[in-house]
Amino acid sequence: MAGPVEKKKRLGDMLVQEGLLTSKQLDQAVEHQRAKGGRLGDILVEQNHCTEDQILSALAKRAGIPFVSSLSAYGRVSADILSLISGDLARQWGVYPLSREGHRLTVALADPFVELDAVDDLKIHTGYDIAMVLTSGREIQKAVESAYPAETKATDIEGISHSDSGPADIQMVTITNALLGNAAKMGATFIYLEPTPLAVQVRYRIRGQLQKKPNFPLAQYAPLVNHLKGLARMDTADRWLPQDGRVQGVWGGRALDVRVATLPTSNGEKMVLSLFDSSQALPMDLAKLGMDSETLLSYQGFLGASKGLVLVAGPAGSGKTATIYATLAGLQSAEKHILSIEDPIERYVDGITQVQARSDLRLTLASGLQVFRRLAPDVVMASDILDVGTADAAMETAGECLVLSTVTAPDALGAVQKLIEMGVPPSLLADRLMGVLGQRLVRKICSNCREGHTLSLRELMSAGLGEKEIRGAKRAASFSVFRGRGCGQCMATGYDGAAAVFETFPMTDNVRRLVAEKASPALLARETAERVTLREAAMKKVLAGETSVDEALRVH
């Protein structure tokens, strides 16, 4: 296999070094590429400077894999090996299975640097370690069209025989490591495995966006579910009740804490894997979460109360958990007795007594809050208000000490409405709610491909932003904003990482009166019209060059 230095060499330089190309010919080809685009190897072949086999041999050497000019040397590939990769996927990925030895599957491919990204997908799909050989696209196409029918059905992907493919436990370990390793390398925070009648849909959530991956063979799914449930210490025999578990390990070079959740469906158990990397987590420091000084001051004002309820609100995946832990860390001191009841405990905070809820032992978030009231706390935290029982317990406890919790809602005002809809008496909520911090995550523009451009006030408004959302709009005719072109570092998305945007909803005397009277959301919004909303906070990030207009428009 080629060494690290050799792999970094450019294709043209390697061809010159091996005497297959002159420097002048390389310069001509590069100039043609700059003017008209295209791949350098294709240009060199087109200009008759090199043959296709010479180009592919150099690419194979650079990638550290063998090159073969013809696949005929491998002879007829058996049906059981062909069944490991469906005809549809062979055409889609430009690959062809050749042979199997032990737990290693040899696959031919036509482009090492495009298709290397698919190696983990192949491991996930087949359950085998993958060895690669490079050949021409023409050879791949000829082999695929000869071996597979012109049209394949989705059921073809089910054709993996356990007796043929080796011990099932080795396959499941390979698939699990590839699935989690691939997700970790791509920066995914969630993996969704969703069974359908014909296959299993695989999706990753990356930087807040869902990204579809190749379908997973249905025949492999039940063993994989049992394997993951076993790792997470869940009941493998119970397929009809939702379950939660946890597994820890190192995948993709990252130490991950993976939450495993199952949900029974008509097609089998859906699995959701939540990947948490503490080294990549937002800091447990409110001042470093991205709040501006005005928002931070307002939120700290809520936290200064000796009793009452303070909420952090946002949709799933908006960073509420990071904010609530940063809040706990900021409140921790030798003078305060702080308790938390969580399901699950996601991060540990020094100086805080943290309790894991256990529904099987009748220790729920609601019952935990009731127990805490007897322990004379100064501050308590319940990880989430999901039901009326937890809401009632939080309101009762808020009459005696400061209570922190999160609510899944679109924004701060939505959190107030949600508690009322749960059945919390409006008058009690008006009396005990100190304030709500709403938040969302927006994707940050990739620093590697970031570029500036100018938009007029008219263009911003036509995009869907109002004057109120663009502070100072009447004093400026145009605005300098940024976007990402898309590059290899950000996987051509134009974004890399995420930033939080915040809003506060303070309980003024007028707001308390309106909440107690069960006023409409529209009336509450008019009463608090001067506050900075999430959309306006996102627009501040746009004008600061941190995110794009498109991202701001996603916040509403």
Q: Supply the CATH number for residue 270's domain.
A: 3.30.450.90
Kindly report the CATH number assigned to the domain that includes residue 299: 3.40.50.300
Q: In this structure, are residues 345 and 354 in contact, taking their beta carbons and an 8 Å threshold?
A: yes
CA pair distance 311, 319, nearest whole angstrom = 13
pLDDT of residue 472: 57
Rg (CA), the chain: 28
Kindly report the CATH number assigned to the domain that includes residue 83: 3.30.300.160
CA pair distance 224, 230, nearest whole angstrom = 10
Shared-domain flag, residues 363 and 494: yes
Q: Before 521, cis peptide (omega within 30)?
A: no
Residue at which a domain ends, from 119, 136, 165: 165
Shared-domain flag, residues 394 and 440: yes
Shared-domain flag, residues 52 and 118: no
pLDDT of residue 359: 76
Residue type, 163: S
Shared-domain flag, residues 272 and 366: no
CA distances from 278 to 12, 68, 192, 495 (A): 42, 44, 21, 21
The full length of the chain comes to: 556
Shared-domain flag, residues 256 and 359: no
Residue at which a domain ends, from 279, 296, 316: 279
Shared-domain flag, residues 174 and 157: no
pLDDT of residue 197: 92
Shared-domain flag, residues 349 and 454: yes
Residue at which a domain ends, from 13, 38, 63: 63
In the chain, the number of structural domains is 4
Shared-domain flag, residues 39 and 141: no
By residue range, what is the domain housing residue 186?
A: 168-279
Cα 373–378–382 angle (5° rounding)? 60
pLDDT of residue 505: 96
The pTM (predicted TM-score) of the whole model is 0.64
Shared-domain flag, residues 452 and 519: yes
Query: Which residues in 166-189 are b (16+ Cβ under 10 Å) and which e?
Result: eebeebbebbbbbbbbbbbebbbb
pLDDT of residue 471: 61
pLDDT of residue 164: 37
Shared-domain flag, residues 378 and 346: yes
Shared-domain flag, residues 50 and 78: no
Helices (H) and strands (E) in the chain, counts: 24, 18
Per-residue pLDDT of the chain (556 residues; tens, 9 = 90+): 333 334 446 777 778 877 778 888 888 888 877 776 667 777 888 888 888 888 888 878 877 888 888 888 888 888 889 888 888 778 877 889 999 988 899 998 887 655 555 677 888 888 888 888 888 888 888 888 888 876 444 333 333 333 333 445 788 888 999 899 888 888 888 999 999 998 899 999 886 678 888 888 888 899 999 999 999 989 998 989 898 888 988 888 888 889 899 999 999 999 999 998 866 666 678 888 888 999 999 999 999 999 999 999 999 888 899 899 999 999 999 999 999 999 888 888 889 999 998 877 789 999 999 999 999 999 999 999 999 999 999 999 999 999 999 999 999 999 999 999 999 999 999 999 999 999 999 999 998 899 988 887 777 776 667 666 666 555 666 778 899 988 877 767 888 888 899 999 999 999 999 999 999 999 999 999 889 899 889 988 988 899 998 898 888 7
pLDDT of residue 383: 92
Handedness of CA 331, 332, 336, 341 (dihedral sign): positive
Name residue, tokens 């009326």.
Answer: 388
Shared-domain flag, residues 179 and 296: no
